[in-house]
A and B are shown apart, each in its own frame.
Chain A
């Protein structure tokens, strides 16, 4: 549980651990939105994410775009992948997600989730 900032030259790496849900939205909000310069958000340790969490990520992306900064999401955990596919928001972030967005059917989805774990 926690969100750590690891400054590395001018790239800010945010690693979010634990759940990204409504219960932590108020805590995570400022951390995600109060950044400058290029940002990389590491989602590999996100155990659970809900609409509130997604909204925060979208917000961060939108802010970054508006300020002409780069913001990348990396290491999508299975929970994140599932949610992105459900809401079809992968394109919104434009980051290479290990797999292509789901077209239809749960079967493909499951294999996608499996891929993400590899």
Chain B
């Protein structure tokens, strides 16, 4: 039984659809082409209803049905899509998500608590339906399937003069595995009842094998169904979307030409019986059948003369319409369906779902490959065989490419995370009674999936914080001469091996004095200490710090920003604040691009080897400075530096001809003094044990080709240390001046 597997697919697809639905709902009011978005929302609801029906999730079907009915009215232009309706539909979407979550948790039956939550939504939805149609009785929920039939009216979209008098004919031969896959034909019929009325089902048992060879879990039965419905052909087809691939499903619209039936009869293995079935279903009269069978032979001869494939699809469509055999709507529906399937197929080709664990395993293997490759390189180098060296260098190039593409697999665009904030901003601004718009930039910026997952909570905090504390109330904004609508900006871009995410609001800015006062009050800093703006702002990331005058339910409890900082630090990232009083506040989060493998640069101090992230290195210069100074003159600029030998207390005397590696992080720059430069190295990051968690300036370890371990240096921390180390002495400019004079 693969029920669980298909249910899992169902849940994933539903979540995707719900995400689409949400983004469409959020942009529908502002959009220039709302029709398209309304259609997208409708399609999402419709598909969810359809697939829930297949799994017998009657409560989901019942709820979605009402949502869909309202959306259908919007789609037909009977209802305007106004603010109130959007909010209601968003709540319905949330409710659906909750329902789907329950299903994902293994509860296929309706949950009483959730049903109660859904009730008010249904009532509100029905208010939108009321003028046109009395509330659908079936919508209240869990009744036996056949009772859901009377809803056909909702689907009346194709204006067709001949409604009611004629039937669709469906010929269904499900795949043998349909039962095993948990999709009983009964549930399809149950779902068909919601779209129309099943006039007659004829069950064909001809395919049943001998008792000995029968597999009780295989489906042998065939069905000929005569069906009355106002739904369009693609609606009916979509009922069978989940099984269409390996089943034979023929759907003949009302008024189909007799040829179509002949073709159907020809297709089936049990032709004579099928003719009877068609008559029994009331699809054909006995006379029509006789005529059909009589013309069949003549047709076969004729068909052989003309030869297949002489006409294009479009032409056939036109001919059929001209002959009055098919209504234009049916052709349209069919063509659109084709296009959809083609698009969907193209899309499927472009992306596949892969288990994240498999990717992680691949990355691990690539890591091991790089380490092994490094050791091979080293040995090749020692042997001094040129040919071997050549091949190993070719090999390393390839390994490097493999590494890049493996890492690329984990890269995800940040857009999806950003667009989730549309909803947050929409909801929170409503709660706060502020009018706030969200502007998103750089949604195509890619970063590691793990990083994205871990960053979305901290970002959420920052966004909420900016909306609550940053952006002022409408009155205050008016007083300050700002536009009534506040703006929140999310931006992402790459900058020297890291990704930068900024959260910017055009609110009141940070109040430096108040932060400082609060910090003194809390004993975080001593009064009278001169601090730079950045340092003062950084205080609000300290635990237990909040300057909000009143506590709202969103933020202001002083819990949060310190957690934000901790989470970001755990990702080897940094967070900074800048602010222009009365105008704006910007939070800048810098994160490493990946957590697994980096391009490193090896440096040696004494016998120890250290790795630095290559992306952070700006240049390497020869070191020249007098002893005792911890700054140097780099082309006229002050460059603070730090001696690794001193920092890590490496034994031995510095060699002659030391080097400075210049590191850059954001706007800050500092040098690191080392003995030797050993060159580039693909660095597989291995975390240090928790014992070393508090060691500063070291972010991890890596294994060298020789099997030795090298520590990976934490560039931002080194830069900080370099700059701070300088602050204690006289100001660096002053010292530089002295040096020049001397």
- Give chain A's interface residues, CB within 8 Å of chain B: 22, 25-26, 28-29, 33, 50-52, 54-56, 58-60, 62-63, 83, 86-89, 92, 104, 106, 109
> A28 to B214, alpha carbons, bound, how many Å?
12
For A87, list chain B residues within 8 Å (CB).
201, 203, 223
- Chain A residue at smallest Cβ distance from B210: A63
- Chain A residue at smallest Cβ distance from B206: A62
Main secondary structure of the interface of A (DSSP, over half): helix
B109 CB to nearest chain A CB (Å): 14
Contact with A along B163-190 (1 / 0, CB 8 A): 0000000000000000110101110010
For B217, list chain A residues within 8 Å (CB).
22, 25-26, 52
B208 near A62 (CB under 8 angstroms)? Answer: yes
Q: Does B149 contact A (CB under 8 A)?
A: yes
> A102 to B676, alpha carbons, bound, how many Å?
93
> Which of A51, A58, A62, A87: most chain B Cβ within 10 A?
A51
A56 CB to nearest chain B CB (Å): 6
- Give chain B's interface residues, CB within 8 Å of chain A: 1, 146-147, 149, 179-180, 182, 184-186, 189, 199-203, 205, 208, 210-211, 214-217, 219-221, 223
Given contacts A51-B184, A55-B216, A86-B189, contact A92 B205 (CB under 8 A): yes
For B185, list chain A residues within 8 Å (CB).
51
> A26 to B220, alpha carbons, bound, how many Å?
15
B184 near A22 (CB under 8 angstroms)? Answer: yes
- Chain B residue at smallest Cβ distance from A23: B1
List 7 additional A-B contacts (Cβ < 8 Å) besides A50-B179, A88-B201: A28-B216, A29-B215, A51-B179, A51-B221, A54-B203, A55-B221, A58-B208
B502 CB to nearest chain A CB (Å): 55
A50 near B186 (CB under 8 angstroms)? Answer: yes
- Chain B residue at smallest Cβ distance from A21: B184
> A56 to B186, alpha carbons, bound, how many Å?
15
Given contacts A51-B184, A106-B149, contact A92 B214 (CB under 8 A): no
For A104, list chain B residues within 8 Å (CB).
199-200
Main secondary structure of the interface of B (DSSP, over half): loop
A104 CB to nearest chain B CB (Å): 7
Would you list 16 pairs from A and B whose C-beta atoms are within 8 A, ordered by A residue?
A22-B182, A22-B217, A25-B217, A28-B216, A29-B214, A29-B216, A51-B179, A51-B186, A52-B217, A55-B216, A55-B219, A56-B216, A63-B211, A88-B202, A104-B199, A109-B146
- Chain A residue at smallest Cβ distance from B193: A106
B278 CB to nearest chain A CB (Å): 14
For B221, list chain A residues within 8 Å (CB).
51, 54-55, 58
B165 CB to nearest chain A CB (Å): 15
A22 CB to nearest chain B CB (Å): 5
B205 near A52 (CB under 8 angstroms)? Answer: no
A52 near B203 (CB under 8 angstroms)? Answer: no
For B180, list chain A residues within 8 Å (CB).
22
- Chain A residue at smallest Cβ distance from B190: A86
B201 near A86 (CB under 8 angstroms)? Answer: yes
